[in-house]
Amino acid sequence: MKKAEFLLTPVVGKYFVGREDVVKELGKELGNPKSRIGFCLYGRRRVGKTSVLMEVKDHLANKRNVVVVYLSLYDLADFSIETLGEEIINAVIDAYQEKNLLPFTIKIRKLLEAPIEVVTELLSNTKIEASVLEHIKILLEYKQGRRNYTNYIRDVFNTGEVLGKATSTKCVIILDEFPEMTKVENGMQLVKILRTQYEKQEKTALVISGSIKKTLETVALSEASPFYKQLVPKHIMPFSREEVEKFLSLYLGKTKTDEVEKLYQLTGGLPFYLQFIGRSTGYAGSIDKAINQFLEQEGDLFFKEEIEKLSEKEKIIVIGLFQGKKTLTELANDINEAPTTVGRYLPELIGKEIVVKESRGKYELLDKMFGLWLKRTYLHDVK
């Protein structure tokens, strides 16, 4: 069998490992034209959320009566409401065009740049549904300043609904990195408008995803948030041991069963690390050797941002946690301070998403790889 190529970008198809349950559930629910259930995917950065979304999209590609629209809000050129609106319109109409469900092939980007009269004339010669033509005219009127902006996002988000009705399809709209929306002016207001609009829609199912827990909580997960109970939450977790093993055998064409445990422990099962180590070392030799080589080659650059967030004392605490210390008392000795002082550092470290609370009074490092690199670099402790 041809071995897979290690990738730092999202993966789909043959090289997509594990996550069978969530892919199956989303595929089934979103692929059912009668269901309007939507989802909220959350999980730490680089855990594989985008890959899951793309994999689901792939599974639904051949369904005739379902159109899946994918848009990452991370790629927005700026945080203006105009840009956000246009990107949504483009993504929705492009997806319908790709499925040959619209009677015009001219790119919507181009269309929106032409004067209304020209567009109307152009499209009136096609067999376009009156409702779709009317909707495109409305969108154009905003763009050309002939309509005030109050209802813009509502109408933009209605595009999928209008097309869904006109073509008897269900429109699944995936907004990846959804919390970025709160960076747009009056972002929280936009989220609420979207929610109200979504409630009224019959042909649209929404899927959102994001990694910043706090922000996602304010939009979807906490009780006071607009999308609470509207979207089914799905926590995407790192790979299990079995999935790490599957990954290695698929990507290397052989397993290193005896060493899976070590790799699993240090990477925490984060697919990104498995790919990244593979890309820079090909897993030649032992896992220890591969990880060392990886940290040597990539660590300084890769952890630059993390390290800049830490004070000297915090660094020592992180190393302590990496070495298996868990309680305030155990950590306090390392920095020659009272346990209560350590107690003040930890909430900070949790806020920076470096430490997680394991249980009462016990703390853990989120990313062991970072701990290992820090220990090597800071204590010059290279094996």
Ligand X SMILES: Nc1ncnc2c1ncn2[C@@H]1O[C@H](COP(=O)(O)OP(=O)(O)O)[C@@H](O)[C@H]1O
14 binds ligand X (CB under 6 A): no
Q: Which stretch binds ligand X (CB under 6 A): 17-25, 63-71, 214-222, 307-315?
A: 17-25
Least Å distance, CB 45 to ligand X, is: 5
18 interface partner picked from ligand X, Mg ion, none, CB below 5 to 8 A per type: ligand X
Least Å distance, CB 28 to ligand X, is: 18
Least Å distance, CB 365 to ligand X, is: 19
Which amino acid, residue 339?
P
Residue nearest to ligand X (CB): 48
Q: Which of 1, 2, 5, 11 binds ligand X (CB under 6 A)?
A: 11
Q: Quote the CA–CA distance of 33 and 169 in Å, as a whole number.
A: 7
Instruction: For residue 5, give both structure tokens.
Output: 């190529």
Eight-state DSSP code of residue 295: I
Please provide the DSSP assignment of 24-88 as one string: HHHHHHHH-TT---EEEEE--TTSSHHHHHHHHHHHTTT-TTEEEEEEEGGG-SS--HHHHHHHH
Least Å distance, CB 228 to ligand X, is: 22
Binding string, residues 28-47; x marks residues near ligand X by CB under 6 A: -----------------xxx
- Cα 6 to its chain centre, rounded Å, is 19
11 interface partner picked from Mg ion, ligand X, none, CB below 5 to 8 A per type: ligand X
The smaller minimum CB distance to Mg ion, of residues 50 and 215, is found at 50
How many residues would you count in the chain?
383
17 binds ligand X (CB under 6 A): yes
The smaller minimum CB distance to ligand X, of residues 66 and 248, is found at 248
Assess contact for 338 and 332: CB atoms under 8 A.
Answer: yes
50 binds Mg ion (CB under 5 A): yes
The residues pairing with 71 across neighbouring beta strands, listed in sequence order, are 175
51 binds Mg ion (CB under 5 A): no
167 binds Mg ion (CB under 5 A): no
Q: Which stretch binds ligand X (CB under 6 A): 14-22, 190-198, 320-328, 370-378?
A: 14-22
Where in 254-313 is the site for ligand X (CB under 6 A)?
Answer: 271-272, 275
Q: β-strand 362-365 against 355-359: which pairing, if any?
A: antiparallel
- Alpha helices (H) in the chain, listed in sequence order: 20-31, 49-59, 81-98, 108-111, 116-124, 130-143, 152-157, 159-167, 187-200, 213-216, 241-252, 257-267, 271-281, 287-294, 300-302, 304-308, 312-322, 328-332, 339-351, 368-378
* Residues near ligand X, by CB under 6 A: 7-11, 16-19, 45-51, 271-272, 275
* Residues near Mg ion, by CB under 5 A: 50
